[in-house]
Amino acid sequence: MGKQKTIEKKPQPAIKVKPKLKEPFPAAVVDNTFVYRPQRSLVATGGMKLKLKSGHPEFKGYIIFINGFWGDPVKNTGAVAWNSLMDKVPERGDSYSLRGAENTNEKDLTDDDDRYTPEEYKKDTANPNKARIKESIKNGLFPARAIYMYFHATKFQRYVKYWNVKENKYQFTTKYAEYFDAKDNIHYFNGSHGLQSDPGHRMQHGYKQGLTWAKLNLKYMEKPSYDTFLPYMPGLASPEYNPITIVMHSQGNALGVGVAKGILAHLQTLKWDKAAINMVYLALHQNRGFTIDEYNDYKKKKLDMLANKHMKAKLAEFFERNKLYIAKGIDEYAGERIVGWNKLKSRGVQFTFSNDRSDVVSRLGDIHGIANACNSDGDDMHFTPFEVTPSSYRIFSKHILNKILTYDNEGTGVNVAVKQKKTVIYTDLVADFSKVYHAYKAKQADIEAGRDKAFYTYTSTGSTMGIAVTSTVYTIRRYEDAVVTAYTKLFDAELAAHSGPVAWGLDTRVLDWAPGKSVFDMIKEKGAGIFYRKANKNSKLLINPAQIH
């Protein structure tokens, strides 16, 4: 055998083994559930990155308009006629009381029929011609429905048309919404409760509606969660970027105070410590209560002014049955029921004409502690706009709606064209009333002193039958009638002053004591350092919901 050949083995290169990669989280379980990890990018299910908003959220407010009593004698017959004449008050649970077509639902204090949303408004106004045709067809097919609709108002009529009328060129809610950064975000609440409604009840009603509305519209996360996410999601919504403005009229003022409390209660449950609330009080109704002595003095003066016994028997029922007496008004009730009421007062501006004193809506005036865009000299201390002195009269304040305009057409600009010859001047009405009142009192004194007869008897013979007819004419009657006629004109003018901040709220011709300015202008001026708006984002104007409850 030959010698075997030795095979030399070449050294093999060393195999490098990579160390096993450590799991970022030990013992991790394969799971598709998203876990928040601040050190990693936010990844949605499926691996798609979320596009987060940068910077601040959009500044967009809400505005809520709360109407007063809806006094249409046709559309709201049950509340205007039946309840008034029969002394029925639905909120008291009186038997056979009627809600009427437009008053609030007392059986369901959160009824959505008592709210009107921007979405409903858009739907109702999307195609008005089509809607009218549709309504005509329905009423033609169902006559009973036509009768029902004649005595009922649609939501659009109840809410939008309460505020937007020919006198303000149908621009009232639009102008307010634009100023308070709430364009296209207008909401409406129903504040109509009928005569003899108690402001304390309306506040409670408003609280429930406000809380319900807040839950439906204010979709904020809780404040602690917001603070956690904010560094990574800077566009998150927060209350300070969505100020809520509440504009109230007449009976709606008490409801609005309750609404504000309800909204703040919702924010408090979400643990927010800052909120933006603006309040506008127009033509305050039942601002404060009467003392017994105040009411008796008020009633005595009013009954004296009415003069005519027949008139007293009808209108004086308001006084004789004490229908206008209230022991507590908004200020007293809110002081008892709202912790932080004075703080909430600081968030609003009020405007009530000093001749806004018509009998059916007394008591009226101001709430002390709320910034006043109209009165500043204690006008609200007087229950009547003027007093008759022994020989003349005295108007207590210059802050009256003196020019009551009759409109011709829509005109141009912010002012509607008027029929100048039909313009009513309130001070002239007071002068006329004083004149006939003093004449009545003078004649009454003459009769009592024997200087004139109480009545005269006239005998006349008919030309055809030849029958003698005896007539008795009471001397004082025509003087009484003159007083009643003059008083009726004052009543109508003072009722016009009650609707004035809304109907004439944009007109720059009605404020004699502020030439060239409107009610809205006065409110904006007074609220310049009060209202929280995009142009005035002062953190000092924010309030802590926990301090108002």
Looking at 39-53, 449-463, 524-538, which range is the least confident one?
39-53
Identify which of 293-302, 339-348, 487-496 has the greatest average pLDDT. Answer: 339-348
The 8-class DSSP code of residue 58 comes to P
Asked if 188 contacts 102 with a C-beta cutoff of 8 angstroms, the reply is no
pTM: 0.84
Backbone angles phi, psi at 180, to 5 degrees: -100, 25
Query: Which DSSP letter does residue 363 get?
Result: S
Among 186, 157, 182, residue whose Cα is nearest residue 65: 186
Of 96, 100, 105, 97, nearest to 70 by C-alpha is: 100
Q: What is the 3-state secondary structure (H, E, C) of 173-197?
A: HHHHHHHCCCCCCEEEECCCCCCCC
Cα–Cα distance measured from residue 407 to residue 417, given in angstroms and rounded to the nearest whole number: 6
d(CA 366, CA 360): 17
pLDDT of 339 above 70: yes
Alpha-carbon dihedral of residues 141, 146, 148, 150, nearest 10 degrees? 170
Averaged pLDDT for residues 84-103: 64
Q: Which residue has the higher pLDDT, 94 or 398?
A: 398
Mean pLDDT in residue range 479-488: 90
Structure tokens at 151: 């005595």
How many secondary structure helices (H) and strands (E) does the chain include? 19, 13
> Do residues 245 and 522 make contact, with C-beta atoms less than 8 angstroms apart?
no
Across 387-391, average pLDDT: 92
**206-236 pLDDT, tens digit each:** 999 999 999 999 999 999 999 999 998 888 9
- Which tokens sit at 142? 């169902």
Q: Helix or strand or coil: residue 470?
A: strand
Residue 460 has pLDDT above 90, yes or no: no
More confident residue, 136 or 347: 347
Residues 6+ apart with CB under 8 A from 326: 198, 199, 286, 289, 290, 363
* Coil, helix or strand at residue 473: strand
Residue 58 has pLDDT above 50, yes or no: yes
